[in-house]
Amino acid sequence: MDQSIAPLIDPFARAISYLRVSVTDRCDFRCTYCMSENMTFLPKAELLSLEELDRLCSAFVDLGVKKLRVTGGEPLVRRGIMTFFEGMGRHLASGALDELTLTTNGSQLRRFAQPLADAGVKRVNVSLDTLDEKRFAEVTRWGRFAQVMDGIDAALDAGLKVKINAVALKGVNDDEAIRMVEWCHARGMDLTFIEVMPMGDDIDRLDQYWSLKDVRAHLAEQFTLTDIPLNTGGPARYVRAEETGGRIGFITPLSHNFCESCNRVRLTCTGQLYMCLGQDDDADLRRVLRADPSDAGLHEAIRAAIARKPKGHDFDYSRQTVNGEMLRHMSHTGG
């Protein structure tokens, strides 16, 4: 990174060091809280090419982004995606980037785990909400449980650190929380619970909402939970389960939002930069990218966007109504 380039600082003096980039809106699952069953996907011309994704992400690295998380849809269904990971690996090698990682549904990990490790990826997050095969089929609609389990094995075999992300869904997986902790920790994997967010146009999330305050109280009936000061660069707060020695994370955008320490922005596969997951304000970086072959205009557009980053989102379930809903699907913005 050119030391003469000032880092990205938003209006609330937060340094933006974490970029989540969606490389595709497509997925081989149709999870009920993320997508409609019959999704209409974007035409290819609207998507950034892998070369454009490389150029955009490299511009963020130039401006001080140290952590890059690749998301989707399902990032590993994007054709040729390893060329992007390999390209980003040069920023790891130079020291400009501290971490390159991804969030995946695990379906393609048997094929990609070793190449990802070879490209410099050390950790992966696997989205998995249930250990019950029948329930898994209901939640994911199209998912193949055995394939995901095999993918997790492949990731562990490749030496990747695996963290399981589970969306806490009342009436769906609220009877599995303890079992999931035991299963993850027995295999050396962290587990993070995430509150369901009011995004998408086809489901009332209020019925699914299970506050992580209640999840933690439920887990405390089985485990001795000790708060630990772990910071992985994201929004999770962590505890250690003393009986297993493993870690449990809680991502609470609703019951206890973490906006005051937000260090991240999200880039969609069409080049729209969302400064906040829970706001509709975005910046069209694809237009700038395609209009100007130099990076000066790109840097300027990124800085202008960060200057509009809001203090926080409006997600709130506390009054038994859903405030701050986003009609945008989670798969569009990137997990």
Residue positions forming the annotated binding site for GTP: 20, 69, 103, 163, 264-266
Token output for 321: 């109504």
- Torsion, Cα 270 58 295 305, to 10 degrees, reads 60
| Alpha-carbon span 313 to 180, nearest angstrom | 30
Per DSSP, 52 falls in state H
Q: Which residues of 116-140 are buried (b: 16+ CB within 10 A; e: fewer)?
A: bbebbbebbbbbbbbbbeebbeebb
Q: What is the SS3 assignment for 175-215?
A: CCHHHHHHHHHHCCCEEEEEECCCECCCCCHHHCECCHHHH
Token output for 140: 């994911």
Assess contact for 69 and 21: CB atoms under 8 A.
Answer: yes
Helices 133-140/145-157 angle, 10° precision: 100
Q: Residues within the annotated binding site?
A: 20, 27, 31, 33-34, 69, 73, 103, 127, 163, 197, 259, 262, 264-266, 276
State phi, psi for 291 to the nearest 5 degrees: -90, -20
Q: Residues within the annotated binding site for [4Fe-4S] cluster?
A: 27, 31, 34, 259, 262, 276
Q: Residues within the annotated binding site for S-adenosyl-L-methionine?
A: 33, 73, 127, 197
Assess contact for 192 and 249: CB atoms under 8 A.
Answer: yes
